[in-house]
Chains A and B, each alone.
Chain A
Amino acid sequence: MADAALDRLKADGRIVVVGASLAGLRGAETLRDKGFKGSLTMIGDEPYEPYDRPPLSKQALLGKGAAERTALPRRREIDAQWRLGVAASGLDMAARRVKLADGDEVPYDRLLIATGVRARPWPNPAEAELDGVFVLRTRDDGAALARRLDAGPRRVLVIGAGFTGSEIASACRERGLEVTVAERGDAPLVGALGGVVGAVAAEMQRENGVDLRTGVMVTGLEGDTTGRVRAAHFSDGTSLECDVVVVSLGAQRNTEWLTGSGLGAGPRGIACDAGCRAFDIRGIVTDDIFVAGDVARSPHPLFGYQFLSLEHWGNAVSQAETAAHNMLSESTERRPHIWVPAFWSTQFGVNIKSVGVPSMGTEIMIAQGSRAERRFTGVYGYQGRVIGAVTFDNSRWLQFYEQQIEATAPFPPPFPTVDRRPEGQKPLPADFPDPSVPTHGPTITLSGYSPADRRMTFTPAGH
């Protein structure tokens, strides 16, 4: 019986994908791969076909490939109706319809939500409006910033030294531009990788001529009479003249459009089960709504079944594939998304990669190589097991540590390795900032909360 319903869905069902970027596209391709012949609608608020974001803070800023040229390669034809340049504005779960900002409504049998995140804006709206103040998330952002860098500003200020901020700083230096990086934490990348590795990143920035200021906040931006940014003020009382400011303070999840829909969506993302099925706000899993990519948060067995949200390219791909598979599968055929988090970044000529959840680690051991040479593998430990690893220019070993994480191998690793140096004989405290003190934000968030993040007033049903 159920089989027949599935067959009908595959033959002439209606699937709607909201969020026409990486996860949305890969999900759609997988649906077609798995034999979905029905109608497929791709809804995206950006006017562009799916494009790739990582190059925006790398090649695009260096002028080595225009921001307009990062269209994602297509794995196959998806034969979809594209609704680009229009946002989804609401969801009627009972009627199975997605509402669009232009007033249209699109009915679905299955829905895939992949609305991702957006850059957290500068908190003071008037200052954020100043000419020369940027964020970097979209193709338009990337193109605009690259143009401004082309024009040769005298000084760029990057606020926030997470991965994106650090990459922007790196690109500026490579272009020979003066750049100041302001970071509230004690070092760059400290939220994602901790203080031990952050110290290496700090050294890397300074050696490459970045004016790095840590433990400091930008308190205000100042414009000139024509509305162009001209200076920034810091919490330590100093100020800085700059004509470009890039606000790089992490991301916010695109879930507002679901407010009031009854779906378990909130500021931390959309909660879903390991099979990518979304929860409603009552904590009940839906059968027809699936989630993938940066906007999703799902429980992971390796990390105590806590909800994990990741801003990782590879996660978006893999989660979308799993979601698409499960959308077209019987319950017993469904697969869990138990991807081991993996992330990469390139800055100052160094290739940085991580696996697992380093930010969960309380200790770190430099298992191979040396920090001074900026070629090393750091292994993170949590309660006596390996929980994450990071490499600087040493990524060919990473696969091994990924397996160690999957196998919940003991920490510190009890075996010798090639290229173990004296500094790698003992674990050190990993030195993550107190999570209650906000930094630029890690790209991984772990949270133990139950599905619907917004707190409901719990009123047990009366009799």
Chain B
Amino acid sequence: MKQGILSDILDYSNRANPYPLYEELRKTPVFHDGDGPYVISKYHDIQSLLHDPRLSSEARNLAATAGDPLAESEDEGAAALPPSFLKLDPPEHDRLRRMTNRPFGPPHSPHRIEGMRDDLKGIVTGLIDNLGDPARIDLVDQFAYPFPVTMICRLLGVPREDEPRFHVWADTLAASLDPDPDADAKERDKITHDARMELGMYLAGLIEERRKNPGDDMLSQLAAGHGQDESMSTMELLSTAALLLIAGHETTVNLITNGMLTLLRNPDVLKQLRETPGLAVPMVEELLRFEPPVQLLPQRTPLVDIEVRGVTIPKGSSMWLILASGNRDPDRFENPDRFDPYRKDIQHLGLGSGIHSCFGAPLARLEAQLALSELARRLENPRLVEDPPPYRQNAVLRGPRHLQVTCDGIRP
């Protein structure tokens, strides 16, 4: 690959700290090299492009180019299911997102998330109770991962005993978003494809079951439709469910893990959080700015030639919006490389913006707030074993693969 800086960003050896690369990138706010994607790295540009109706999220509007290392791999695997609303434009996007939102958030279900607070607390408490030897904790495997998986299963109405199978599919599909230059693309596509198929079949069975015996979980409500003229086809329902599963997953794991890592690197903040659990609310916002779990959005394409900072981006080009870079743009944030949970001016891009802004944001926020404040409260004198920790391969959904922590004990 010739686009030096892009391949550096994807290069695993830069995973632990991609921020110097982003800084470099911002010197060329509309970066383009050869037949690669157009890369946008400044806050204000990203922010306005996310609201630009000339930009499509649909793959069919993308002119085929060889140079985009993220565009290709994904769409092969998606063949098994129609694209989820993440990859659709309005009006289909709006319709599907609106229907998905009905059982999830206001105005129809304003209390859903708040209503899960006790459930969430229970899961957090249980996981911390079972951490075992306080000297040897892997926060990813023992906490940050099982927590959102358990939660999304409950939300969707996936039976507890099926959770392990879910883990495997979720893992595979999340890995497929990762442009690993070394992997055998064909082999990987096949694995992804199979996982999607299996997951699809599993969900189809579950939906069938829920149609007959509805519960108050989201799948039941989605499957039942709402007696209105709008309802989802089974295929749409499947890809929506798969989307919720994946997105409700990998992102939160990373948010929590990145969060704990940041806290362990900033012990004073950890202490403040222990003393003032309410600090979790602004702190999670700052985390979403400082270490966003979704580093970049690789799937936007202009419907017409557009101009950004004097550069013409041709119709059909692939564009990457580097959210994590915008979040550290000194033209937008003072001292952007400082982690400051008391920061007031914090309109970050961590959850995106515009019509595709994170659907699960209210849940993700609550999960991270509860998880981090409980960990801060209960772990006694926690320390990092390894800094930086080993990262996942994935450059888009970036986060540590393991987070080895040792502490003196676990408070009741």
List A residues at the B interface (Cβ < 8 Å).
349, 367-370, 373, 375, 377, 396-400, 403, 415-419
Contacts and interface: CB of A to CB of B under 8 A. Distances in A.
A413 to B, nearest CB: 9
B303 A415 contact: yes
Given A349-B107, A396-B354, 15 more contacts: A368-B53, A396-B51, A396-B355, A396-B357, A397-B53, A399-B48, A399-B51, A400-B48, A400-B51, A417-B53, A418-B54, A418-B89, A418-B90, A419-B89, A419-B90
B90 A415 contact: no
B227 interface: no
A375 B53 CA distance: 14
Contacts of A370: 91
Contacts, number: 50
B355 A397 contact: yes
A384 B23 CA distance: 41
A375 B354 CA distance: 15
Nearest to B51: A399
B49 to A, nearest CB: 9
Contacts of B357: 396
Contacts of A398: 51
Contacts of B53: 367-368, 377, 397, 400, 417-419
Interface of B: 47-48, 51-56, 89-91, 94, 107, 303-304, 306, 354-355, 357
Contacts of B94: 375, 419
A419 B107 contact: no
A396 B94 CA distance: 11
Nearest to A370: B91
A353 B56 CA distance: 23
Q: Which of B51, B56, B303 has the most CB of A within 10 A?
A: B51
7 contacts: A349-B107, A368-B90, A369-B90, A375-B91, A419-B53, A419-B90, A419-B94
A417 B57 CA distance: 12
A417 B91 contact: no
B20 to A, nearest CB: 31
A173 B223 CA distance: 31
A398 B94 CA distance: 16
Name the 6 nearest CB pairs between A and B, nearest first: A417-B53, A419-B90, A418-B89, A399-B51, A415-B304, A400-B51
A416 B48 contact: no
Nearest to B304: A415
A403 B48 contact: yes
Contacts of A397: 51, 53, 354-355
A102 to B, nearest CB: 39
Contacts of B52: 400
A367 B91 CA distance: 13
Contacts of A375: 91, 94
B91 A369 contact: yes
Q: Which of B89, B107, B355 has the most CB of A within 10 A?
A: B355
B354 A416 contact: no
B361 to A, nearest CB: 14
A406 to B, nearest CB: 11
Nearest to A398: B51
Given A349-B107, A396-B354, A418 B51 contact: no
Contacts of B355: 396-397
Q: Which of B52, B53, B94, B304 has the most CB of A within 10 A?
A: B53
A367 B357 CA distance: 21
B313 to A, nearest CB: 13
Contacts of A377: 53
A102 B55 CA distance: 61
Contact of A417 (B48, B107, B303, B354): B303
B52 to A, nearest CB: 5
A339 to B, nearest CB: 18
